[in-house]
Structures are given as C-alpha cells and as structure tokens.
C-alpha cells in the first residue's frame, strides 16, 4: 500500500518536471521571440504533430517495421552464435575476439555500403538494424551461458541428467537475466540503425522525413519527427522491459 503511494508521488514529480521544461521552453521562446526556423516552440510542434498525424504515423510505421524485423533478425543470430560459442571452444577462440573487435567499428559507417548493395528499400534498413543489435546480445548470451555455478552442475549430474536437459532446464533459464538487459539496449539501437540507414537513402520512414524537412528548413516538422521516433524507441524499450519482468520474474524479487 505504502509502496503504491510512493510510486504515484514519483510519477507526479516526473510529470511536473516535464511541464516545467515545456513551460520554460515556451516562455523563453515568447520572451526572446526566437525564429521558428532555429527553434520552434512546443505548441507549434504539437500542432504540427496533430495536423500531420496520419502522415507521421505512416512513416513511423515503416521505421517500426524495419527496426523490429532487424531487431528480431539480429538477436536471433546473436543468440544462436552465442550458444555455439559456449559449446565450441575452438569456434569461440577463432571468432569471438573478432566479434568483440568489430563491436568497436562504428557500424553506422556501413550505412552507405548497405544502401549501395541492397538498394534504398526496407532490406538495407533491416540489415543495418540487425547488425547494430547483434553485438550487445552476442556478448550478453556468451556471458549468460558461461555463468552456470558448479553446485548447480553437480546437482544435475547427481540426477544423471543428459546434456540436453542440462541445456534447457538449467542453462537457458540461467542465461536469461544476462540476455534481457542486452535485448533492451538493442531495442533502442535497432531504431537508431534503421533511422541512420534512412538518412543515407530512403523514400520512406522517419529518418527520411527528418532529412527531407532539413532540405526545406522545416524545423518544426523535424522536431515532430524526432519526437515520433523517440516515442517508438521508448515503446520498444518498455515492451522488452515488460517481457523481461514477466519472464525473469525471480530476478526482480531476489
């Protein structure tokens, strides 16, 4: 009961700071009369979002589809390779260091290449999002599958458990608390990846709107698009967060 009250208070504080920020912005704009092309005020941005909502939503949907498919592709490959690495020391020794090194490469620099190879359709964006999602989840998976504690192994051994049963009754659940945080990182990265690829060459998507509006100096529309894409990123993050709390329920309670 007390906890619930406390949470409500926290929420109220968050909402207040939000309105304080928006209010200050609006006030500064009013007092100094900043040009709309440099910095539009919150009310103007809000009106642009409302008036162009179907248009923004259409493009946001494209970005959401690209990011989600890229995310699913990237994490699937990452989890599979992560598991292979934990079962083959040789493969891990030969490839994992490269994977770690590749993580340091600014993958964003690959966007023009991908557009050149795969065209300006959705595929290049999906692949970009997949590449950017791959590495955090690979590291999380390798970590998650290597933490199994000796006592647990001994316990399963004492029941003469098969390797397969150890894998899905012990190793998979043990790895989940390590994989989920990397999924949350990747969920937001996926949106970044798709948007960057849209900057480089696209005729659809939120990234396209941002670049296109910049050509026409439509700053207000750029802000509207940025807000839309931030909402998409947040929604994906909280979706994974929600799934994590449902699946890895024991971590939050420990």
Partner 1 sequence: MIRISNIEKTYYGKNESVCALKDISLDIKKSEFVSFIGPSGCGKTTLLKICAGLLDPTEGKIDFDYPNYKIGIVFQNHVLLPWRTVKQNVALSTELSNTNNNIEEMIKLVGLEDFIGSYPFELSGGMKQRVSIARALVSHPSILFMDEPFGSIDELMRDNLNMDLLKIWRKLKPTIFFVTHSISEAVLLSDKIVILPKRPGKIKKILEINLPRPRTISIKETQKFQEYIKCIRKNID
- Helix H, strand E, coil C: the string for 2-56 is HHHHHHHHHHHHHHHHHHHHHHHHHHHHHHHCCCCCCCCCHHHHHHHHHHCHHHH
- Does residue 147 touch partner 1 according to CB under 8 A? no
Out of 6, 152, 238, 242, the only residue in the binding site for partner 1 (CB under 8 A) is 152
Rounded Cα gap, residues 43 and 47, in angstroms: 6
- Does residue 33 touch partner 1 according to CB under 8 A? no
- Does residue 3 touch partner 1 according to CB under 8 A? no
Site for partner 1 in 166-195 (CB under 8 A): 169-170, 173
- Does residue 159 touch partner 1 according to CB under 8 A? yes
If the CB atoms of residues 14 and 154 are measured against partner 1, the closer one turns out to be: 154
* DSSP states of 169-220: IIIHHHHHHHHHHHHHHHHHHHHHHHHHHHHHS-SSSHHHHHHHHHHTT-HH
Query: Is the Cα dihedral 168, 174, 177, 183 positive or negative?
Result: negative
If the CB atoms of residues 156 and 180 are measured against partner 1, the closer one turns out to be: 156
- Does residue 155 touch partner 1 according to CB under 8 A? yes
Q: How far is the CB of 244 from partner 1 (least distance, A)?
A: 13
- Does residue 158 touch partner 1 according to CB under 8 A? yes
The helix (run of H) or strand (run of E) holding residue 228 is: helix 219-247
Which span sits near partner 1 by CB under 8 A: 22-30, 96-104, 147-155, 193-201? 147-155
Rounded Cα gap, residues 206 and 191, in angstroms: 10
- Does residue 148 touch partner 1 according to CB under 8 A? no
Residues that bind partner 1 (CB under 8 A): 151-152, 154-162, 165, 169-170, 173, 249-251, 253-254
């Amino acid at each position: 009961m007390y906890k619930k009250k406390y949470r409500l208070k926290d929420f109220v504080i968050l909402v207040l700071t939000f309105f304080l920020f928006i209010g200050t912005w609006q006030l500064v704009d009013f007092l100094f009369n900043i040009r709309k092309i440099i910095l539009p005020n919150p009310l103007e941005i809000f009106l642009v979002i409302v008036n162009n909502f179907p248009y923004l939503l259409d493009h946001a949907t494209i970005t959401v589809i690209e990011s989600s498919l890229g995310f699913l592709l990237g994490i699937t490959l990452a989890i599979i390779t992560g598991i292979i690495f934990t079962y083959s020391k040789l493969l891990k020794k030969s490839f994992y260091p490269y994977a770690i090194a590749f993580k340091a490469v600014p993958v964003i620099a690959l966007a023009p290449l991908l557009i050149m190879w795969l065209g300006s359709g959705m595929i290049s964006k999906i692949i970009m999002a997949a590449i950017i999602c791959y590495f955090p989840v690979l590291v999380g998976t390798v970590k998650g599958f290597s933490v199994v504690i000796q006592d647990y192994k001994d316990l399963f051994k004492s029941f003469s458990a098969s390797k397969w049963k150890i894998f899905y009754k012990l190793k998979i659940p043990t790895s989940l608390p390590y994989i989920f945080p990397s999924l949350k990182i990747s969920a937001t990265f996926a949106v970044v990846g798709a948007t960057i690829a849209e900057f480089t060459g696209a005729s659809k998507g939120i990234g396209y709107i941002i670049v296109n509006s910049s050509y026409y100096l439509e700053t207000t529309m750029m802000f509207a698009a940025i807000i839309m894409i931030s909402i998409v990123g947040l929604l994906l993050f909280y979706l994974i967060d929600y799934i994590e709390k449902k699946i890895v329920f024991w971590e939050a309670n420990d």
